């Protein structure tokens, strides 16, 4: 019983981190597109977006492979990521 509760608790924590990271990546991407950054902030924006996208992909594969909403959030993050890297 205790192990089951601990597993549920870890999944809940992963979900909070996953959603927070996804929304941070989306918000950072939108800020990047709306306000062209200087070279220093360009590096900071890209680092935040890349790290959050990679964290979200890891958490999605480990904890939420059957959730369609999670997949949609990852796809949006990756499209924005590719657009920004190519920009």
In a domain, 49, yes or no: yes
State the Cα–Cα distance between residues 59 and 65, nearest whole angstrom.
9
Please check the confidence at residue 34 and state whether its pLDDT lies above 80.
yes
Contact 55, 74 (CB under 8 A): no
Q: Is 5 a domain residue?
A: no
In the chain, how many domains are there? 1
- Residue 73 belongs to a domain: yes
Q: In this model, does residue 81 exceed pLDDT 60?
A: yes
Q: What is the mean pLDDT of the chain?
A: 73
- What gap in Å lies between CA 46 and CA 67, rounded to an integer? 27
22 band by pLDDT with thresholds 50, 70 and 90: confident
Domain that holds residue 32: 13-86
């Amino acid at each position: 019983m205790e192990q089951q509760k601990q597993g549920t608790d870890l999944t809940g924590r992963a979900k909070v981190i996953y959603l927070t990271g996804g929304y941070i990546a989306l918000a950072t991407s939108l800020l990047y597109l709306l306000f062209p950054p200087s070279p220093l902030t360009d590096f900071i924006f890209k680092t935040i977006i890349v790290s959050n996208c990679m964290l979200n992909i890891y958490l999605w594969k480990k904890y939420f492979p059957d959730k369609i909403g999670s997949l949609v959030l990852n796809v949006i993050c990756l499209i924005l990521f590719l657009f920004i890297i190519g920009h």
